[in-house]
Structure 1
Amino acid sequence: MKEIMNILRVVSESRQAEISPEDNHKVEQIVKWQKETLTQAELAFSGSYEPAVQALSDYLSCTPSSDSTARRFATQMLTEVPEPYRAFETLSQWLVAINYVIQRAPEFEKETFPMSKLFVFYMFVPSGNKLFVMNEFNARLTQVLQAWQTYLDSEESKVVLNPEGTIPAPTGWLSQSAQEQLCLSQAKNYADRTQTYWGFTSYNDFFHRELDLDTYRPLPANDSNKIVVSANDGTVYRIARDVQYCNQFWLKGQPYSLFDMLGGNAISKEHDVPTPSYLIEPFVGGDVMQSFLSGADYHRWHAPISGKVVRKQTIEGFTFSELRSEGFDASAGTESQGYQAMVNTRGIVFIEDEFGRGLVAVIPIGITEISSVEITVDEGQYVKKGQELGYFSYGGSTLALVFQRGMVASFMAEPASDDAQFPACKSAENCPAEKGCLRVRSAIAKLHDPQKC
């Protein structure tokens, strides 16, 4: 097993030089899962791909719509994984497995992020690392992920919530075990648990379930216009101050680059021109707080301050991309969250503080699986602190708050330690911001008085 780890890992100052037993175990489990999934996929394969997978296959084959460079990278990436641990010998096998995954919803206590498991080695090996950042390949892969999202939005997908269809659910995402692991007692739908599916209409409807916010995520008791609240549940990944307009975000340390992060050269779903400079320049010298959302976290995001939405945009970026300089990442990208804030699919909601302090940008970012970003507020709309702004559909995600320079007096929240673990049932007592734990609508920072900004 050291052979695969030595090939898949780049030893850098930012990661440990020795192979940990934990990483060894993760790789063993990934290889085992890939081989089992291929066996199941081949048994289930009807002989034809789903349309989006067929389009990806055509792009990677000798067809009029193909790309020779992409085909070369895709073919080479398979061989760059050492043979004893190579689950996929051909591109067709890899595509059959992808085709299998997008016709199913994740099952409880099985692999929660299957697409990441299919891609984790290939995102890292040299040829695959290049393939996943080719724009046309990413566009074809995005179509595959959108097809998967369509299924996860369908009523058919809710069967994994309660496979037996009995009340209470003995297995699935609504079982007693899942209720405890995911703290489902805090969900609004908990009141409907006498129904077979608790009123959920699909797997995604369950994934971005609403919470009883007034009971479990109240605004701070000492709230004032100086208090910034967390936009999301999660764990603090990084806090950066004096952030620069343009930076080499692909280097060690993944420094933030506001021009790239805020869409200075990107067309969005809502606007056919990039973010204007007058919306980017006020953030130069400002602050960024980025956090990670686990699969068990609440996946809706809320306004950190009260004010007016002056611009919203959804930027389609990469879906699976990571920095090789960070070393092999068994989680398929979470070690590259800073970099992903500049290049991955993301939303941006610019809010102008109602007291004239300046702008705050809320940036939800998809990092694995589908992680589509749905913004539910409109430009020109006034939002109150703690009000919902939107949600993530199924997938891994991270969220960044960017503050105009001079706004933040101090942060109450601090980055979490590498070994930090927090309970699913978050409360003020067991989820302290100063330890890196975030509860949506809890206090995370203090702002200067308006006249000082």
Structure 2
Amino acid sequence: MTRDTPHLWTEQKLDARYENLFGRAAGYLPENRAALDAWLDDFSRDVHERRARNAIVRHPSVADLARLIERDRIVRMYVSRMINEAHQRDCKNTVNDIPDLLDHLDCIVTSTPKYQGPTAFPMSALFTYLMMTTDGYAVFRDQGFNKALLGILREWCAHLDSKDSQEVLNQKNGWLSPAALADKKLNLQDFQINLQDPYGGFPSFNAFFHRELRKDKDVRPIDDPDDPRIIVSANDGKVVRIRRDIKRSDEFWAKGQRYSLYDMLDGSDLTDLFVGGDVFQSFLSGGDYHRWHAPVSGVVRSARVVEALMFTELEHTSGRDAGTESQVYGASVNTRGLVFIECPPPIGMVCVMPLGMTEISSVTLTVQPGDQVTKGQEMGYFSYGGSSMCLLFQKGAIEKFFPKDNTGDMEEGDPIKVNARIAQAVGDEA
């Protein structure tokens, strides 16, 4: 791999790279880089002030990462070089050294996202410039480093599950404030919220994040509930890619949005059922509904979570579809759920694959093998973090898809809503 010359990374090149990041397009990072730099500056100032007061507490998960870096010379090399390379490129507000990185992570573990801050995804922000480096690409794929980050995310998720995270939900300037209730990106009128309670009836931030739809009003009606040919969306979001005639194995790391079934399905015995079939991928932005539902009716034959990578992007991508290409790559390497649903002919087996991206701490499945699910039934949810969704269908099962394939960047994808029709199977109407 050829290293970029640090001084060639101009402000214009950094802006172009930032513009094409998945996190920016998905709303996990600010729309412009200046806002990212402002957030990093404020956050780093807070870290340095806490350090001066000896107020930084080393959390168990961050201590585990520190021990890994100390004992694993290869990880230590990658981490040291990515920090140095970011500084050589004159990226603003990067961490100074390994102890500084650990202190920043310690402060994140007990932080809670605030409404309308410059960014609500602190680890994505902290890692932005570091991940743009040659060694950053490498270390975020290292299994040991990734496992340590997973531990940090789980400890942070425990904080977000606790009452300590509740205050940001206040109705004055928090996630339930008048401004938030009017925010069209959140569409809070669609959800179960008790405004008679100071915190909307939510015991924690995560409870708010994966909030449930209203039960007194059908805000996500199921399209054609009695027609088994109609397949509905498993989630809210936008279309990433629709691909047909998928190969069993392919170079998922290559440009061109290639899907590799064997890698996506983690070597499952059911892989060959989907050879030559179709993939429908969509992504969920930070403000979207973060529960997912059954796209079809059938019996759950297998359900499990594959723990894998979280902070990783496809290398050597540029242009307006770079973020999209990284999502297709992520379908083969990121943390994901695999739920196989067996349906009557002509649909056959369907795989519902929720993908964890960036700050994902929990892909939670609420179904298990043997369960009978009906179209539109809830099947699981994401706790705080980025996310994407793939639906896989057998060869010849799908007659047509209703949304358009996305030929540009993620922001141009067709919007979809959970329970709305996305595809029609072959055959006659029931």
How does the TM-score come out when normalised to structure 1?
Answer: 0.84
Query: Which of 173, 187, 191 is the equivalent residue of 2:191?
Result: 187
Q: Tell me, in whole angstroms, the C-alpha distance in 1 between the residues paired with 2:259 and 2:281.
A: 11
Q: Tell me, in whole angstroms, the C-alpha distance in 2 between the residues paired with 1:188 and 1:339.
A: 35
- Alignment CA distance shift 1:285-1:450 (3 Å): farther
Whether 2:114 is the aligned partner of 1:107: answer yes
Whether 2:326 is the aligned partner of 1:336: answer yes
Whether 2:82 is the aligned partner of 1:77: answer yes
Which structure 1 segments of 5+ residues have no match?
Answer: 16-22, 163-168, 265-274, 423-434
Query: Which of 211, 220, 233 is the equivalent residue of 1:217?
Result: 220
Whether 2:259 is the aligned partner of 1:256: answer yes
Shift of 1:5: 4.8
Whether 2:155 is the aligned partner of 1:151: answer no
Shift of 1:324: 1.6
Whether 2:285 is the aligned partner of 1:294: answer yes
Shift of 1:357: 3.0
- Alignment CA distance shift 1:438-1:25 (3 Å): closer
- Alignment CA distance shift 1:314-1:118 (3 Å): same
- Structure 1 counterpart of 2:388, one-letter code: T
- Alignment CA distance shift 1:393-1:330 (3 Å): farther
- Aligned residues, how many? 405
- Alignment CA distance shift 1:417-1:240 (3 Å): closer
Query: Which of 281, 304, 315 is the equivalent residue of 1:324?
Result: 315
> Residue 408 of structure 1 aligns with which residue?
398
| Contact 2:320–2:408 (8 Å) recurs in 1 | no
- Structure 1 counterpart of 2:201, one-letter code: G
Whether 2:320 is the aligned partner of 1:311: answer no
- Alignment CA distance shift 1:228-1:178 (3 Å): same
- Structure 1 counterpart of 2:189, one-letter code: S
Q: Tell me, in whole angstroms, the C-alpha distance in 2 between the residues paired with 1:354 and 1:139.
A: 39
Which structure 2 segments of 5+ residues have no match?
Answer: 1-7, 22-28
Q: Deviations over 1:405-432 (max 9, x none)?
A: 111000001235747869xxxxxxxxxx
Whether 2:61 is the aligned partner of 1:55: answer no
> Residue 161 of structure 1 aligns with which residue?
169
> Residue 176 of structure 2 aligns with which residue?
174
Match of 2:182, SS state, is: helix
Shift of 1:6: 3.4
Q: Deviations over 1:176-210 (max 9, x none)?
A: 11112111111022xx2111111111100000000
Match of 2:316, SS state, is: helix
Shift of 1:334: 6.1
Identity of counterpart residues, as a percentage? 39
Query: Which of 240, 247, 251 is the equivalent residue of 2:250?
Result: 247
Q: Tell me, in whole angstroms, the C-alpha distance in 1 between the residues paired with 2:272 and 2:335.
A: 22
Match of 1:232, SS state, is: coil
How does the TM-score come out when normalised to structure 2?
Answer: 0.88
- Alignment CA distance shift 1:2-1:250 (3 Å): closer
